[in-house]
C-alpha cells in the first residue's frame, strides 16, 4: 500500500516537483498565481500533484446571477500516481477553500474525452453545467493533383503576415 499523501498550499521548495509534472506551469501561469491559490499534494516529501484555483469577484458571463466564484483551472497528477485519489483530494481541498472564503460556487472545465478528469469532478459532485461547442475551420487547402496523380507544385503566397518582397 502506498503511503498517504498530504495537501497544503504551494511553498517555494515545491517548485522543482511542480516543474517535473508540468515544466512550464509556474512560468506560464505566474501572473495568475496572485489571483488564487496553488495546492500541492505531497507523498513522502515528493510532489505528486497540484491544483490551481482562481478567485473571481465579478459577474460570471456564463452564469449571470453569480458574482463571486472560483474556477479550478489546473489539476495535474504525476504520471504513475493516478487512481490513488490524489486528483479527487486536490479538487475537494479547492472546493473547501472556496466555501471557507464565501464564494458562491466553483466551476471547472474539461474536455469530453478526458475521462479521468470527468471521473474526478463527478466524484466531487460537479454536475455538468453547460456544454460548449468548439467549431473548427481548417485554413489548409486540399492538396491538388495533376491528371497523372502527381501533386501539383504549390505557389508561394505573397499575402499574409509572412509576405516576402519581390525583386
Domains of the chain, each with CATH number or no CATH? 5-123 (3.40.630.30)
* Per-residue model confidence as pLDDT tens digits over 126-149: 998 888 887 888 888 776 767 776
Say how many Å lie between the first and final Cα of the chain, rounded: 72
Sheet holding 46-56, edge to edge: 5-9, 36-43, 46-56, 69-77, 105-108
- What DSSP character marks residue 32? G
Counting residues of the chain whose pLDDT is more than 90, the rounded percentage is 63
Yes or no: say if 123 and 88 are a contact pair by the CB < 8 Å rule: yes
Give the pLDDT band of residue 53 (cuts 50, 70, 90): very high
Amino acid at each position: 500500500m502506498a503511503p498517504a499523501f498530504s495537501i497544503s498550499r504551494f511553498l517555494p521548495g515545491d517548485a522543482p516537483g511542480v516543474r517535473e509534472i508540468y515544466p512550464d506551469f509556474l512560468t506560464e501561469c505566474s501572473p495568475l498565481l496572485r489571483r488564487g491559490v496553488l495546492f500541492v499534494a505531497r507523498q513522502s516529501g515528493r510532489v505528486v500533484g497540484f491544483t490551481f484555483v482562481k478567485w473571481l469577484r465579478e459577474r460570471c458571463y456564463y452564469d449571470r446571477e453569480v458574482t463571486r466564484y472560483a474556477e479550478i483551472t489546473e489539476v495535474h497528477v504525476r504520471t504513475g500516481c493516478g487512481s490513488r485519489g490524489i486528483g479527487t483530494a486536490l479538487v475537494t481541498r479547492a472546493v473547501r477553500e472556496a466555501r471557507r472564503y464565501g464564494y458562491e460556487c466553483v466551476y471547472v472545465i474539461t474536455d469530453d474525452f478526458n475521462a479521468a478528469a470527468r471521473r474526478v469532478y463527478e466524484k466531487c459532485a460537479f454536475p455538468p453545467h453547460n456544454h460548449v461547442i468548439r467549431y473548427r475551420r481548417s485554413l489548409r487547402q486540399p492538396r491538388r493533383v495533376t491528371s497523372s496523380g502527381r501533386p501539383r507544385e504549390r505557389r508561394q503566397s505573397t499575402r499574409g503576415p509572412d509576405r516576402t518582397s519581390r525583386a
